[in-house]
Amino acid sequence: MSQSSDPVWGIHGGKPRGQSKDVHRRLEDPADRLFKDGFIAIGWPETGALTELPGERDAFRSKVAAIYGPDAPSRSVGADAGMLFRFVHEMQIGDLIVYRSRVDGFIHVGRVVGPYVYDPSINLKYPHLRSVEWLGEFRREEFTQEALRSLRAQRSLFQIRAGVDEFRVAVRELLSSGDHNIATSSPS
């Protein structure tokens, strides 16, 4: 179980680069498909496997900058590189994950159970993966507005800071009741 000082991560499906928001709304959320298979995933397939990079933020920034070219805004390069770095190096096995599905409307909470893996055979657009044990789902009404607002981040992956204890308490109560569902999978 996650300790009270361990990070709690939020993840949500974003629109793939170059796709309009209107088109994306009509499609199934790609994060939802991976969720059902016991994974969380983020995009940037052009980077390839990131295990080859040194565990330093500057290495990730250089990789992202090289892919998106000299015309890419440095702010976007830094934000994308930071997100990839956190997914590969800061997220740890045992950390909690909170995912608000756009498909079913539930707040799903899970635990990271696997290391970072790059596997485009599972999903070409979202090849950066971690296996997750999904512990349960909650209705939005079970959380305060502060906690729900924390899930509205613009980034696909973010550390939850506001309302974080609510998610920890919900998981603790769920696990102590013995009433949780488990769906895990491991990338090959």
Per-residue pLDDT tens over the stretch 75-89: 889 999 999 999 999
Q: Note the pLDDT tens digit of each residue in 117-146.
A: 999 998 888 899 999 999 989 999 999 999
Looking at residue 184, its pLDDT comes to 40
CA dist., res. 60 & res. 65, Å (int): 8
Specify if 59 maps to a domain.
Answer: no
Total structural domains within the chain: 1
Looking at residue 186, its pLDDT comes to 43
CATH classification at residue 26? 3.10.590
Specify if 49 maps to a domain.
Answer: no
Q: Note the pLDDT tens digit of each residue in 147-182.
A: 999 998 878 899 999 889 999 998 888 888 876 554
Q: Average of pLDDT values for 93-106?
A: 89
Specify if 68 maps to a domain.
Answer: no
Amino acid at site 164: V
Looking at residue 68, its pLDDT comes to 85
Looking at residue 103, its pLDDT comes to 77
Specify if 39 maps to a domain.
Answer: yes
Specify if 86 maps to a domain.
Answer: no
Specify if 69 maps to a domain.
Answer: no
Q: By C-alpha distance, which of 116, 131, 135 is closest to 176? A: 135
| Residue 154 lies in domain | 8-44+93-177
